[in-house]
Structure 1
């Protein structure tokens, strides 16, 4: 069941924090990934937070992110109605101030439960200023929408922006309290040593104790603000478990799904290459579909639906496994409206 208001999503995060479990909030870069993730979440009765960035919205909208956002959310809502779990949309990494127009489009569309605004590459005071302006803009809208922001920097590439490892740093608990009090954000993404993108060959010094210290500082100051860890594709199950124990209910994941999409398609076409590529000695005449040759490609293998279905099945398995890993399986807060 789709939800488009922040109150329902806030209830989901509160239940996760109280219950000691969490969610992989999943970025969606292709509709086959979306359907696979929904299938997997529904299979194990886990609520799903699905995310779309401006870059992906622009892809869906053939260059127009506002159009793409509406298309994505319409597609999400229609298929979420077929599930028996809560399904939420978060708009991810709206970079400030450059993407202020897109933030306006998000607010005016009324299709998202939450939005992540990002000025973490700016100095602290400018980060506070930009995020405070964004919070005011969001709350000026007609619907309740949660606002997530980031304090600290996660290394790697996000939305085409590269952050070198030396520029990443751990979030300071006292600064986190000040940031929340001055901006009024609903969720806080913290830097604990993770990395956007592929983490293989990288020595990730992941610090669950940093998340725990920030969480305790916020609670002691009277702020009920869930923490978020970005760059979760490189985390081991043990690291996820430790971060859950430190009070983190939301983990952003993107690269893993992109890899599974590409790997599943690559494996399929590699296994069926003889049905798609002409054998040696046959001209590669795509224009005539090999009308003058004894050989012809096999449509049952090159039809896009075939590999698309394989991708959906694979992503469903991945989401089911991830939901088990975070403990969200069987914890759906779905409310029949």
Structure 2
């Protein structure tokens, strides 16, 4: 097992570029999704890249994002030791340089994504370069992902009403001047709930960006954000054009809630009192014959089913992305 090591993660990306597969970067905010992802990755022998946004860290830390990162970082490291795969952690869509400095000082992440894509081009370069220099000065083994272009939709605290596609020549200048290790591009995907049939995807543009970078001696892995609505065939087109990190978040959120909902819906009469019986939770139904069934309301019951479902989903995604069977550490 490998955790929080940028050099080892870079090696995985090198393989992905050479072999034409992608690493599914999976967002988490709590343990059930995390453990389900580890189970799924182990099942198909894929290395696993977890992600946490600032909002997820704040949730996990009861309002304190750094406490959340520390708590989840320890949790990830402890549980990852049970698995024979590489497990990494990326900080997703970070915008505040002071927060990033604290993340670097902790030394927990394998990589950090600085998202200044909402800023003008020069400001984006300046802020992205500042993160690269921050990590260099700390001599930290952390990769830097930056973003050029805007992806439509809402991700954590970042809102974009419309997409702005990434320009290949600007991409070359951006990578050259910032020194970033990965580049997130805008090629028609969308954050949040989206359907592949409604997206104006540009795999040709991803190919143009990849070619322009390579023509300038920059073998930079490309990143696809907002991929939850992208269909398998669409994704595989992107993977053949230099995309080797594919972000997933919304899909897991839906599977989490849907799995719990299906369980509770199928056992409603054993969790919620039937019509005509008072919903007397304060007295735990002492005054009536009906009682709830702990076989279904114990949170661990739903939690285990959520973990199993997330594992299934990740295993399928890793197979489509081509990382299944390619772990460097299995």
TM range (shorter): over 0.9
1:146 aligns with 2:149: no
**Which portions of structure 1, spanning 4 or more consecutive aligned residues, are displaced by more than 6 angstroms?**
none
| Aligned equivalent of 1:161, options 148, 158, 163 | 158
Q: Let me know the Cα RMSD of the aligned residues.
A: 1.1
Deviation per CA, 1:157-192: give whole Å up to 9, x if none. 011322112xx1111110000001110000000000
State yes or no: 1:50 paired with 2:50.
yes
The correspondence of residues 122-271 of structure 1 with structure 2, limited to 5 A, is 122-165=119-162, 168-200=163-195, 203-271=198-266
Separation in 2, partners of 1:286, 1:44: 44
Three-state SS of the structure 2 residue aligned to 1:233 is coil
Matched position secondary structure for 1:50: strand
Match in the other structure for 1:9? 9
Using the TM superposition, give the Cα deviation of residue 202 of structure 1 relative to its aligned residue in structure 2, in angstroms: 7.2
Provide the C-alpha distance between the structure 1 equivalents of 2:18 and 2:164, rounded to a whole number of angstroms. Answer: 28
- How many Å apart are 1:201 and its aligned residue? 8.8
Give, in whole Å, the separation in 2 of the partners of 1:160 and 1:6: 26
1:52-71 equivalence runs, <5 A: 52-71=52-71
Is the 8 Å Cα contact of residues 117 and 148 (structure 2) preserved in structure 1? yes
Q: Distance in 2 between matches of 1:67 and 1:202?
A: 40
Residues 1:296 and 2:291 aligned together? yes
Cα distance in 1 for partners of 2:249, 2:79 equals: 20
Comparing 202-211 with 148-157, which one deviates more in the overlay? Answer: 202-211
Query: Offset of 1:72 from its aligned partner?
Result: 0.8
1:221-271 CA deviation, whole Å, 9 max, x = no partner?
011210001001010001111001111111011000000001001111101
Q: Secondary structure at the residue paired with 1:148? A: strand
Tell me, yes or no, if the aligned pair for 1:192 and 1:208 is still in contact at 8 Å: yes
| TM-score between the two structures when normalised by the length of structure 2 | 0.98
Q: Is the 8 A contact 1:110 1:142 kept in 2?
A: no
C-alpha distance in 1 between matches for 2:229 and 2:138: 36
Relative distance call for 1:46 and 1:309 in structure 2 (3 A) is same
Q: Retained in 1: the 8 A contact 2:196–2:231?
A: no
Deviation at 1:142, TM superposition (A): 3.8
Instruction: Describe the SS at the equivalent of 2:7.
Output: helix
> Quick one: distance in 1 between partners of 2:303 and 2:121?
44
Instruction: Return the TM-score normalized by structure 1.
Output: 0.96
Distance 2:208 2:25 in 1: 23
The aligned residue for residue 94 of structure 2 is 94
Question: In the comparison of the two structures, how many residue pairs are matched?
Answer: 330
**Equivalent residue number for residue 278 of structure 2:** 283
Conservation of the 8 A alpha-carbon contact between 1:265 and 1:311: yes
Structure 2 residue aligned with 1:316, among 307, 311, 318?
Answer: 311
Which secondary structure state, in structure 2, belongs to the residue aligned with residue 249 of structure 1?
A: strand
